[in-house]
């Protein structure tokens, strides 16, 4: 029997990912996670006004990618939603979006392209390969769809953190933050994927709120290592704990975004079920609600694969190990 040379190398291409985010404390953890994944190439970052205003989310994305050593274009997205007046959540994420953390001066500059244009350019450059992930409002993606309606077919997958299906909201009684900031944009995205017979992988609140950091997890973040981004994450997370406690949820923090990002790049930590989903745009009491047609009354094919059956402890252990391996 012949033998293989030990000098043979096998090239495995990294998974190209575009992250559209509004950093944001849990967005910061999502960025750090991607930076620590050696099998992922983050090929673009787009910022969306949401948790705080556009100037702050852009500054945070530039500063975090610089600290993390991510050589990636960061594009400024839309400053305001398509229709809805702008609202932000400084009480949740701090006055500049990263809680108690201070990023300091940043030498990076944003890409000359708009956020929507970066979506379109990268979708064409990595046609059939690009995994798009949104952890903020869907404004930029909706604008990109208006420019390039073929995006649902150009992307390999789209993963969205947003919505609450048959579950209480975290903004209004039935609405989740990312959808509530720009419900028209979310409607356009869900509708476009449905028309293309594709499905959005949707991480709604009933899945992401399973990821509940406790004090032991908080201390584990503080002990990750000496990398400068560890202090940023730790200081931001402490503020997040303080917010959750003030909101009556106890000394804890829900880390929504990293679960959606980790599921996008590993396919693990949750299962999915198909569902037809849309966003209520007219209700007096229920505007912004993400509605799932559980009984098939609309007669529409599913346009969403909804995350469910989350392995919370398995994911948290994976997140810690990934951050420790990359930042320790």
Distance CA 168, CA 18 (A): 29
Q: Evaluate whether 202 touches 307 at the Cβ level (below 8 Å).
A: yes
3 state SS of 24 = coil
Neighbour tally for 143: CB within 10 Å? 20
Q: How many CA atoms within 13 Å lie on the side-chain side of 65? A: 27
Active-site residue identified among 159, 244, 256, 318: 256
User: For the chain, how many residues are written?
Assistant: 328
Residues 6+ apart with CB under 8 A from 197: 301
Main-chain phi, psi angles of 93, to 5 degrees:
-115, 0
Catalytic site residue 256? yes
Helices (H), 112-201: 115-125, 139-147, 151-154, 177-181, 183-195
The catalytic residues are: 256
């Amino acid at each position: 029997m012949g033998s293989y040379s030990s000098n043979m190398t096998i090239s495995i291409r990294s998974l190209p990912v575009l992250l559209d985010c509004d950093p944001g404390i849990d967005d910061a953890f999502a960025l750090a996670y991607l930076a620590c994944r050696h099998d992922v190439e983050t090929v673009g970052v787009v910022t969306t006004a949401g948790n705080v205003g556009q100037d702050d989310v852009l500054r945070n994305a530039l500063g975090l990618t610089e600290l993390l050593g991510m050589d990636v274009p960061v594009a400024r997205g839309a400053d305001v939603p398509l229709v809805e007046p702008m609202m932000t959540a400084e009480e949740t994420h701090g006055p500049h979006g990263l809680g108690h953390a201070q990023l300091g001066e940043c030498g990076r500059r944003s890409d000359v392209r708009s956020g929507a244009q970066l979506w379109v350019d990268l979708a064409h450059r990595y046609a059939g390969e690009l995994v798009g992930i949104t952890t903020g409002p869907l404004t930029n993606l909706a604008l990109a769809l208006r420019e390039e309606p073929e995006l649902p077919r150009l992307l390999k997958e789209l993963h969205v953190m947003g919505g609450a299906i048959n579950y209480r909201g975290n903004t209004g009684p039935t609405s989740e933050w990312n959808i509530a900031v720009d419900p028209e944009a979310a409607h356009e995205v869900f509708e476009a994927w449905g028309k293309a017979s594709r499905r959005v992988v949707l991480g709604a609140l009933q899945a992401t709120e399973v990821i509940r950091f406790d004090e032991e997890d908080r201390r584990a973040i503080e002990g990750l290592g000496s990398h400068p981004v560890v202090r940023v994450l730790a200081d931001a997370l402490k503020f997040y704990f303080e917010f959750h406690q003030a909101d009556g949820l106890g000394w804890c923090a829900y880390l929504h975004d990293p679960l959606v990002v980790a599921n996008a790049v590993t396919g693990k930590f949750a299962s999915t079920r198909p569902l037809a989903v849309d966003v209520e745009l007219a209700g007096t009491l229920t505007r912004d609600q993400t509605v799932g047609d559980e009984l098939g009354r609309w007669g529409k094919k599913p346009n969403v694969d909804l995350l469910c059956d989350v392995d919370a402890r398995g994911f948290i252990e994976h997140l810690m190990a990934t951050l420790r391996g990359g930042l320790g």
